[in-house]
Structure 1
Amino acid sequence: MRGRGSRTVASRGRIGVLAAVVITILVILVALPLGGLVAATVGERGAGAWGDVFVGRIASNLFWQPLGNSLLVGLGTGVLSTIIGAFLAWVVVMSDVPGRKVIGALAAVPFALPSFAIALAWETVFRNDRIGGSPGLLQSFGIAVPDVLAWGAVPITLTLVAHYFSLSFLVVAAALANVGGDLLAAAELTGASRLRIALRVTLPAVAPALLSGFLLAFAEGVSNFAVPALLGLPVRFQTLSTRLYGSISTGDVERGYVLSILLVVVAAAVLYLGTRATGRGSFATLTGKATRARSVRTGVWRIPLLVVASALVLVTAIIPGIVLAVSTVLRRTGRVDGGFTLHFWTGESDPGIAQGVRGILTDPTVINALGGTLALGASVAAGAIVLGVLGAYVLRRLPRARATSGTISFLSYVPFLIPGVAFGAAFIAQFGTPIGPLPSLYGTFWILILAGIAASVPFAFQTSRAALGQVSSELEEAATVAGARGPRRLARILLPLSARGVVGGGVLVFVTMVRDLSLVVLLVTPATPLLSTMTFRYASEGFTQHANAITLIIAAISVAATLLARRLQGARSSGSTT
């Protein structure tokens, strides 16, 4: 008994040390950058920046107008994404419309794509001659495209909706799947009509999911950088994310940091209010008796519903890819009458085409960017998952240590509230200058890895916690009785049994980094090229075919990795240990 007690005390001591290590790492990656961002805005120069942003002569152009534009785009993105996502979720989960599985699979594809992929496809089709350069496909066919469809709030909102409706779809579909058929059957026995059942039973049951989907899409719309930069900046339509990027990239760092803090506050306030709203009341739909979701007979509306649902997923998941692929082989941007060529893929430098810029597959800079992107994705995924597993293991072993578990949970959740471009600004503020004997990390690959790990911590921690949670504690207790220490139990029991879930989470972190632009746009330098920033540079400079070709490569990597992650998670679900 004495030996067993001493082993227990020693085990708790090792877990305490591990908890301290995890908290220290989270403080360095999360708390210090945010602290550095705030510290950079205090003092004489910082105080002046706050005044300039709120009440200065340029306050309207610097903050208030971009804030209004951000809220407008976010509201439109949230409302439309929720409507479309909820409609498709209902079709897939609760209707008898044919082809539901295919529709459901395609509805999840847009979120696996980089947001700028759909923006580039939109520009390829709808671009007009307002800002010069080559117009899009519609105008090349003689169809006049109004400015309101080519640039500004409308195309930005619609492209963001085409990307983020997948969020609402996944959230609402999961909620609808939990609306048991017994609830609907009981409502039908009362003689209630289908409309009344939908309004009084189904809608209240999925109300939290609808609100969550709206808030997630709204927050993403407010903070997105890539789409407003591509479709807004050419006509000076500024949002908070593009304005702070412009400030920091032009050396006006104090004002940029202030805007970063305000963007964090806006996103955090939205998500906080949503959490409070969804936390009120009871929306229980799960009973002790397991029942499957009840299909609704749509009758004569089956085919119209099928047509609408199919059109939505085709326009968002299939057509953008086709548009991008076709545009990369057009000799003249936006015109099919100029002939076709593979130059933008495999061509050598030719002064007569694209100002001598060679094809992406023969350009050493692009090849280096591909290698850097894959290396960054793999490094961030490995680092984030290791940190996530260690944090989840600490919480598993010390569930009653409220201070420790609360600190880890809080620090691992905070990055979810920080938009990517603001996080990049925070890392510049903290690690952009030497700290004691440590050199500046700006311009190095390390700052990209650290920022990526910090931004990915929420997802890595949650997926690792879920994966470890599927392993019964009885197995670990049996190993403890047999004398296995904590590291051995983790390596021999927990990790092998939860490997699929952990690896699946790592793959999704990899996908996020490969397609991310907002986080890295301020951190990348010519010494550290990435595919996403090269796409942004090519698109900004008018090399449309090159930008679209690189986007296709990113999309192919992202979709392939996402399918792998879903397969791993599906296998985990079918073979989970309890």
Structure 2
Amino acid sequence: MTVLLAVAVAALALLPLAHIVVAAVDVGWSGVAELVFRRRVADLLGNTLRLVAGAVAVCTVLGVGAAWLVERTALPGRRVWHVLLVAPLALPAFVSSSAWISLLPGLDTYGGALLVVSLAYAPFVYLPAVAAFRGLDPALEETARGLGLSSWAVFRRVQLPQLRVAVLGGALLVALHVLAEFGALAMLRYPTFTTAVYDQYRATFNGPAATMLAGVLVLLCLVLLLAEIRLRGARGYARTGAGAARSPRPVRLGLLTGPALVALATVVGLSLLVPLAALVSWFATGTSARVDWAALATTTGTTLALAAGAAAVTTALALPTGWLAVRRRGPLATLLERTTYLGSAVPAIVVALALVTVSIRLLPGLYQTVPVLLAAYAVLFLPRAIVTVRAAVEQSPPVHDDVAASLGVSSPARLWRVTLPLLAPGIGAGAALVFLAVVTELTATLLLAPTGTETLATAFWSASSALEYGAAAPYAVVMVLLSAPATVLLSRDPSSRDVRRGLTT
């Protein structure tokens, strides 16, 4: 039974990819060639690749540099800087882009798009780099310094090779997020595949054209995944013994302390203070700044209800896969678990487009209904729940279930009285991660939400698109407040690595 449930979950996760393949077969090679091999597609490909490459490069420099300053130097206030560098994750990228474009209307260029997405996604490189620095053996660095190597040489020849896997993982997250980003780039009027798919679908409801563009986007995602695996390689840097736990000796910056503080302050100011200042300005001077408290309360309630429903559904779907991956280890269990990650690697607009097509063709009554929207959330955020559920199953000894079975307790009773209480922390953590993700989800909600249904993200989008920044500000503030718990979890120094993995999945 568990295997069948896990297969059903994997099939749901693969639905967007299956939709692209079926659509391509229906259109035929000549149709695909006509829709894909066009000047417009080449322009979109150039824009997208240029933005992805630039964002990965900038985020890598910012993330690794900031991580080294915080973890390996005697910089004043390192713990405070750590929190401030993670805090931008509480600001959705489309909120930051709206703030920037309201302050600098001329920012709708490649440089503006690169600035906004780099500041929004730099924490995805910073966090794994910090974790990797904390896991390095300081004895290697001290030995290198004892041999006369400078701090820069130690970083380049000792630390950086050991950071490779973490930095590549963070860079992959940045690249996938930039490929999938819609709201921020649409606000900045920077055309990419994601914005083109949305415009194509909304303007003409041209299914084949939108689907083929989405297919190119999926291929780009798969290329990035394969490239990350290739670049990661098979070389390992793990030490053979546990060693003695101790902190590394911090590097004294001397005259470079001032420039380092200015650099970090600039990054924090641009990524955090500028958007927050824009929100305050919208409240204070916006002509639409009168808050409609009733509308805000209704929209917040709708958002919380959808987030709670998505958290419950997604966590329930994660249970059979997480259980199977630990209790029935093998090729099939591994394949089913990895399949769920493929679904989440697909941009939200592709997931939404697939569910729109499936619901219209097979179940017209479900089009633009809450169940379809919850299914989209499940496909997008399943890994966040599976990561924590699997960790809980691994920490739950199977002997408890065996003892209950030996005492004659039925399977349903064992599930209710033994298994679920043991898994409760992991289930709760997974549900919380999905809940927080749904609160700020924009793209799938715009395409799939029932008519008349508004969430905080879509209400903010509607108001900011109409340049009613004062009216948009309250929705942004509530989203930031609801996203803050995730930032708090990420900025702590605990041992809950699986929760941190789920937050950045």
Settle same-fold status: TM greater than 0.5.
Answer: yes
Distance 2:476 2:244 in 1: 44
3-state SS in 2 of match to 1:307: helix
Distance 2:110 2:60 in 1: 18
Distance 2:174 2:222 in 1: 13
Larger CA deviation: 538-547 vs 222-231: 538-547
The one of 290, 293, 305 equivalent to 2:260 is: 305
Residue 102 of structure 1 corresponds to 80
Larger CA deviation: 542-551 vs 217-226: 542-551
The one of 191, 201, 222 equivalent to 1:238 is: 191
The one of 171, 181, 199 equivalent to 2:156 is: 199
Question: Equivalences for 1:372-451 in 2 at 5 Å?
Answer: 372-400=302-330, 402-403=331-332, 405-433=333-361, 435=362, 438-451=363-376
How much does 1:567 deviate? Answer: 9.8
- Residue type matched to 2:9 in 1? I
3-state SS in 1 of match to 2:112: helix
Distance 2:367 2:155 in 1: 54
The one of 508, 522, 527 equivalent to 2:433 is: 508
Distance 2:285 2:240 in 1: 54
Distance 1:480 1:567 in 2: 42
Distance 2:76 2:408 in 1: 56
The one of 213, 228, 231 equivalent to 1:259 is: 213
Mapped pair 1:330 → 2:258: no
- Residue type matched to 2:233 in 1? G
Residue 378 of structure 2 corresponds to 453
3-state SS in 2 of match to 1:503: helix
Distance 1:471 1:217 in 2: 34
Task: Return closer, same or farther for 1:49/1:249 CA change in 2, 3 Å cut-off.
Answer: farther
For the pair shown, the structure with the greater C-alpha radius of gyration is: 1
How much does 1:497 deviate? Answer: 4.0
Decide whether the 8 Å contact of 2:13 with 2:344 is kept in 1. Answer: no
How much does 1:445 deviate? Answer: 1.4
3-state SS in 1 of match to 2:76: coil
Larger CA deviation: 512-521 vs 223-232: 512-521
How much does 1:60 deviate? Answer: 1.4
3-state SS in 1 of match to 2:15: helix
How much does 1:481 deviate? Answer: 5.0
Residue 39 of structure 2 corresponds to 60
Distance 1:189 1:264 in 2: 49
Distance 1:534 1:52 in 2: 37
Task: Return closer, same or farther for 1:536/1:169 CA change in 2, 3 Å cut-off.
Answer: same
Question: Equivalences for 1:122-161 in 2 at 5 Å?
Answer: 122-127=100-105, 147=106, 150-161=107-118
- Residue type matched to 1:387 in 2? L
- Residue type matched to 1:21 in 2? L
Residue 7 of structure 2 corresponds to 23
How much does 1:424 deviate? Answer: 0.9
Larger CA deviation: 548-557 vs 241-250: 548-557
Distance 1:413 1:449 in 2: 17
Residue 523 of structure 1 corresponds to 448
Distance 1:493 1:295 in 2: 47
How much does 1:109 deviate? Answer: 1.7
Decide whether the 8 Å contact of 2:286 with 2:469 is kept in 1. Answer: no
Residue 77 of structure 1 corresponds to 55
How much does 1:318 deviate? Answer: 3.2
Residue 42 of structure 1 corresponds to 25
Unaligned runs of 5+ in 1: 1-16, 128-146, 333-342, 347-358
User: Residues 264-302 of structure 1: CA distance to partner in whole angstroms, max 9, x if unpaired?
Assistant: 110121122102221332232573214334133224133
- Residue type matched to 1:312 in 2? V
Mapped pair 1:276 → 2:221: no
Distance 1:475 1:187 in 2: 49
User: Residues 42-72 of structure 1: CA distance to partner in whole angstroms, max 9, x if unpaired?
Assistant: 335x6565233233xxx212x1111111111
Distance 2:120 2:491 in 1: 22
Distance 1:106 1:503 in 2: 27
Unaligned runs of 5+ in 2: 499-505
Identity over aligned pairs, percent: 25
Residue 169 of structure 1 corresponds to 126
Decide whether the 8 Å contact of 2:86 with 2:490 is kept in 1. Answer: no
Larger CA deviation: 158-167 vs 496-505: 496-505
Count of residue pairs the alignment pairs up: 496
Residue 12 of structure 1 corresponds to none
Over aligned residues, Cα RMSD in angstroms?
2.6
